[in-house]
Amino acid sequence: MPTAYRTIDARILAALGGIVGERNLIAGDPERLEAYGHDETAEKRYAHLPEAVVKPASTAEVQAIMALASREGIPVTPRGAGSGLSGGCVPAMGGIVLSLERMNAILEIDLDNLMVVAQPGVVTNSINEVLKKEGLMFAGYPMSLETCFLGGNVAENAGGGKAVKYGVTSRYITGLEVVLATGEVLRLGGKLRKDVSGYDLIHLIVGSEGTLAVVTEVTLSLLPVPKRRAVLLCSFPSVAGAIGAVPAVIKESRIVPTSVEYMDKASIIATCSYLNEEIPYQKAEAMLLIEVDGNDDEEVYRAYEAIGEVCVARGADPVYVADNRTTMDRIWNVRRNIAEALKVRSPRQSLEDIVVPTAAITAFMARLEDIAGRFGVEIPCYGHAGDGNLHATVVKPEAWSEEEWHERLTAILAELYEASHALGGRISGEHGIGNKRLAYIGIDLDPATILLMKRVKAAFDPAGILNPGKIFPD
């Protein structure tokens, strides 16, 4: 990373305006720039104002912006919908925010190859809305599907509530068009289900948090939508009971559910109150939301019976089955709104997404309880338990001053991340490192790995202008 970047002056603004048109350039207006200076990360300290925002409409415009920025030494931060939770799209070093919001077309639905080609600014959910009539879906989407963009999903390798059975975004990406920091355009892969010609650059770029290239087109493989599904809501009298059941669900039932989501009591109560919703047995200490799917009623019935039995044997009481759309949607709605509900209840918080091997979740939960107890802090927890990916949410106690919060949160996060790493886990399972977790990357990665990653970064972006100040501390 260079020690100094060029600031944007009138000459550069004129050049940017010439590329995207004055209407698609924001500069000199702090109020409008502010909207592009943060994502959904709760703590404001990760925010940073851009000097300019550009909204290109084509790959050629992205190319021209990158060539200009590269020549002039100006940082560029790609931005999707800004729903990220690690400060990834925050222009940490100022410069240009490159918003992909106008590149929002679904370019092709290829029913013969079962592929869709789309621009990065497409709202993720709209892909499945369009595909509904064909009985097809993109299965790797995150829970924020109604707001986030496809390009952001690619850059974060997002994964959501269906990852247990269907995996995460990367599984479905077969082709990418990207613009490098220097302005060159690469077309990688295509509508191929297999491809071993050279290095797998697609899956190097997927999850690279906008630090290696700007994604300008995505080819996704599709799956048929299963015809039937059902949701089990399993109430447990203890956290340990619920978490202990997670690895048993697949092993003992021999069925791979679509989702295994965990919700603790604090998360459920906060969300039901936020939504003014009642779900069955919401006062349980902990719950597992387990979804199964299939193509006929009997298959789905057999699946939920088998999984229900495993949960009952592990102490679930009662197990509620939702097999009509309205009830399933109501239950999922609670799970989907936990992050928002906890944020409304406790705006000062740090939402985490550690990931551990599924068999280590019980041990991690014990460490979490110990950390919360020792620091005297509330840490509600929920998440994609079937993937070992948990959203422990550290909440600022009212009695703590700002200084105490900053100091103690740093120590709490270090302990939480160390606990995850010691159990074979990682500090982030889906939200990424961004500028929020970069100080902790050394917990997960050894110096040789970090050095190699930095060399890869330098090969893609020799001038260090693409999303600087992310992933690695200098």
| 383 touches ligand FAD by CB under 6 A | no
Which C-beta is closer to ligand FAD: that of 162 or that of 396? 162
SS (H, E, C) 94-133: CCEEEECCCCCCEEEEECCCCEEEECCCCEHHHHHHHHHH
Residue (35 or 111) nearer to ligand FAD, CB: 35
**Residues from 3 through 62 that contact ligand FAD (CB under 6 A):** 39-40
Site for ligand FAD in 86-105 (CB under 6 A): 88-89, 100
Q: What's the start-to-end Cα distance of the chain, in Å? A: 8
Q: Name the residue with tokens 């698609």.
A: 24
Q: Does 206 bind ligand FAD (CB under 6 A)?
A: no
Among 70, 153, 219, 267, binds ligand FAD (CB under 6 A): 153
What token pair was written down for 314? 């592990």
Report 209-248 residues binding ligand FAD (CB under 6 A): 209-210, 214-215
Of the two residues 62 and 328, which places its CB atom closer to ligand FAD in the complex? 62
Query: Per rule CB under 6 A, is residue 331 in the interface with ligand FAD?
Result: no
- Given 117, 143, 164, 360, the residue binding ligand FAD (CB under 6 A): 143
Q: Which is nearer to ligand FAD, 25 or 158 (CB)?
A: 158
Closer residue to ligand FAD, CB minimum distance, 72 or 209: 209
Of residues 168 and 361, the one with the C-beta less far from ligand FAD: 168
Stretch that binds ligand FAD, among 140-148, 253-261, 297-305, 440-448 (CB under 6 A): 140-148
Q: Contacts with ligand FAD in 339-378 (CB under 6 A)? A: 339-340
Strands 96-99 and 76-79: parallel
Report the interhelical angle of 325-336 vs 265-275 (nearest 10°). 110
Span interacting with ligand FAD, options 44-52, 139-147, 301-309, 374-382, rule CB under 6 A: 139-147
Site membership for ligand FAD, residue 160 (CB under 6 A): yes
Instruction: Using CB under 6 A, pick the residue from 56, 78, 94, 388 that binds ligand FAD.
Output: 78
155 binds ligand FAD (CB under 6 A): yes
175 binds ligand FAD (CB under 6 A): no
Q: Judged by CB, which is closer to ligand FAD: 316, or 338?
A: 338
With 0-12 / 13-18 / 19 or more C-beta atoms within 10 angstroms meaning exposed / middle / buried, residue 17 is middle
Separation CA 329–CA 320 (nearest Å): 14
As beta bridge partners, residue 231 has: 291, 322
> Residues in the site for ligand FAD, rule: CB under 6 A?
39-40, 77-85, 88-89, 100, 120, 142-144, 148-149, 151-153, 155-156, 158-160, 209-210, 214-215, 339-340, 430-431, 467
